[in-house]
């Protein structure tokens, strides 16, 4: 899931946690000595109001997370402390417009089995590629973590006007989004439609897989990208990696029954064995710890092959830059307080390749597969001077708070204009046009030009022949002879 929250620095005191308890203490202190702390932002009435209803920060939040390969238990409470604004400022805060967010689905069954796999599709409760109960727990835990992190920013109960969820059209990502929302928005009060049911339906939007152009990578039907991949196969790094692992790949082919195992296809063998090991299924004797280690290294290399190694920036324009362009658009729109939308968070439920494509475009990828329920977070802040800045975090291990990600060339809190400038090189201007191969485009233009010229010449010849035929086929007629020489009466 990718989440992009926006917070206002004006209302935040990092290093202190705001809670009803601290608000109540502030109210008591202010009541005891109304003059103490003048100019620091709290009156006794304001502190008391804050104790009853701690405000959310100003700005927007969004999160982009992917279902994780392995998401343990949730991170401890981590959220910015909030400073209570005055009533006029709180009304201004309530007029603020917010939006954005990406995560990977939770634990799942393998997407397929190899020919000699002792565990075929009937060995899995729901078949291949389906979210497991562990995956549901991982996503519920992630939802709870987001609730704690953004407590006070998001409404305490679900409000359709502050959050929008988009998923790819796969069972595991749709179910991950639903499990995540169950943790993020447990129903309260009037939202409880059945006693003892701590769940409520929340819409998750998607588009058919055949037309998905935002969240599923690599994007297909792009000739220039395929050309770049062919060039990548000729690089020294790719050739050396193939040579170094030739005998190992042959062994894997013999043991699995797969006829052609390559650097690009071996990931599926690791994925299947990883899922089986995670679900406590005994593995064949040939699958030793060393074999699993080497398979994992080759699987990670396959992600580099897809989005890096050769001409990373151009690949990003054709792949992850497409998603980054939408995120940038959302961040820019969130600055506009008069925008019609009131979204505070936009979340995407997607895949490991989605996260890798995005992080490769941002040049922050750590070289390892994004685990189940891992989450890339963007946070948009409004500074005291009215300017906006962006921070990024990556939550790839539950039990630990997200760690900061630094966009190369910028500080942790990156001014939004600088963030946009630094990411410009990987944003496609016309994806379909850039996907065309330059030489083929010129050849196509030449062929079209020649065809047009030939058609025009053919029409002119037909017209000329028609005129000549009509002239020759005209019958002889009478011709008037002038009487000029005769004398007029």
Q: Annotated catalytic sites, by residue?
A: 105, 352
Give the chain's radius of gyration (CA, Å): 32
Cα(112)–Cα(130) distance, integer angstroms: 11
* The two structure tokens encoding residue 102: 């990406």
Phi-psi region of 245 (alpha: psi -120 to 50; beta: other; left: phi over 0): alpha
Cα(418)–Cα(407) distance, integer angstroms: 10
H or E element at residue 382: strand 375-382
The set of residues, in sequence order, having a beta carbon less than 8 Å from that of 332 and lying 6+ positions away, is 416, 420
If we measure between CA atoms, which residue out of 277, 173, 186 comes closest to residue 215?
Answer: 173
Cα(52)–Cα(61) distance, integer angstroms: 23
The bridge status of strand 60-65 relative to strand 375-382 is antiparallel
The set of residues, in sequence order, having a beta carbon less than 8 Å from that of 488 and lying 6+ positions away, is none
Give the C-alpha distances (Å, rounded to integers) separating 51 from 18, 285, 319. Answer: 10, 62, 47
Cα(487)–Cα(484) distance, integer angstroms: 8
Phi-psi region of 285 (alpha: psi -120 to 50; beta: other; left: phi over 0): alpha
CB-based burial, 198-208: b 16+ in 10 Å, e otherwise: eebebebebee
If we measure between CA atoms, which residue out of 120, 89, 62, 146 comes closest to residue 334?
Answer: 62
* The two structure tokens encoding residue 94: 């309530």
**What DSSP letter does each residue of 226-242 carry, written as one string?**
HHHHHHHTTSHHHHHHH
Residue with tokens 């658009």: 329
* The two structure tokens encoding residue 98: 């917010």
């Amino acid at each position: 899931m990718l989440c992009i929250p926006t917070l206002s620095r004006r209302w935040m005191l990092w290093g202190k946690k705001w809670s009803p308890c601290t608000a109540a203490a502030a109210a008591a202190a202010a009541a005891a000595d109304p003059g103490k702390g003048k100019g620091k932002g709290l009156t006794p009435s304001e502190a008391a109001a804050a104790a009853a209803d701690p405000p959310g920060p100003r700005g927007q939040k969004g999160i982009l997370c992917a279902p994780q390969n392995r998401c343990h238990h949730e991170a401890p409470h981590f959220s910015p402390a909030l400073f209570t604004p005055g009533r006029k400022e709180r009304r201004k805060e309530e007029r603020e417009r917010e939006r954005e967010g990406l995560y990977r689905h939770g634990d799942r069954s393998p997407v397929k089995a190899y020919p000699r796999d002792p565990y075929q599709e009937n060995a899995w409760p729901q078949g291949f590629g389906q979210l497991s109960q562990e995956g549901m727990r991982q996503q519920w835990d992630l939802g709870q973590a987001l609730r704690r992190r953004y407590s006070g920013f998001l409404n305490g109960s679900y409000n359709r006007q502050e959050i929008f969820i988009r998923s790819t059209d796969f069972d595991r990502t749709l179910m991950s989004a639903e499990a995540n929302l169950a943790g993020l928005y447990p129903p309260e009060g009037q939202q409880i439609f059945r006693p003892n049911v701590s769940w409520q339906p929340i819409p998750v939007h998607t588009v058919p897989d055949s037309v998905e152009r935002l969240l599923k990578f690599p994007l297909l039907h792009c000739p220039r990208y395929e050309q770049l991949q062919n060039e990548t196969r000729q690089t020294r790094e790719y050739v050396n990696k193939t040579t170094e692992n030739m005998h190992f790949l042959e062994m894997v082919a013999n043991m699995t029954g797969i006829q052609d195992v390559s650097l690009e296809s071996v990931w599926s063998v690791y994925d299947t064995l990883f899922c089986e090991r995670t679900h406590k299924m005994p593995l064949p004797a040939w699958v030793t710890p060393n074999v699993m280690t080497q398979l994992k290294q080759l699987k990670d290399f396959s992600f580099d092959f897809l989005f890096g190694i050769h001409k990373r920036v151009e690949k990003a324009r054709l792949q992850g830059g497409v998603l980054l362009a939408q995120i940038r658009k959302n961040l820019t729109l969130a600055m506009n307080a008069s925008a019609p939308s009131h979204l505070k968070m936009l979340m995407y439920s997607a895949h490991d390749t989605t996260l890798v494509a995005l992080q490769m475009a941002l040049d922050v990828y750590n070289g390892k597969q994004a685990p189940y329920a891992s989450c890339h977070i963007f946070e948009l802040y409004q500074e005291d001077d009215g300017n906006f800045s962006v921070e990024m975090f990556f939550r790839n291990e539950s039990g630990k708070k997200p760690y900061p990600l630094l966009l190369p060339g910028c500080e942790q809190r990156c001014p939004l204009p600088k963030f946009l400038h630094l990411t410009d090189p990987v944003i496609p201007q016309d994806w379909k046009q850039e996907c065309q191969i330059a030489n083929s485009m010129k050849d196509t233009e030449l062929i079209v030009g020649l065809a047009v010229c030939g058609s025009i010449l053919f029409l002119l010849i037909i017209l000329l022949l028609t005129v000549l035929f009509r002239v020759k086929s005209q019958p002889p007629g009478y011709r008037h002879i002038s009487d000029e020489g005769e004398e007029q009466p």
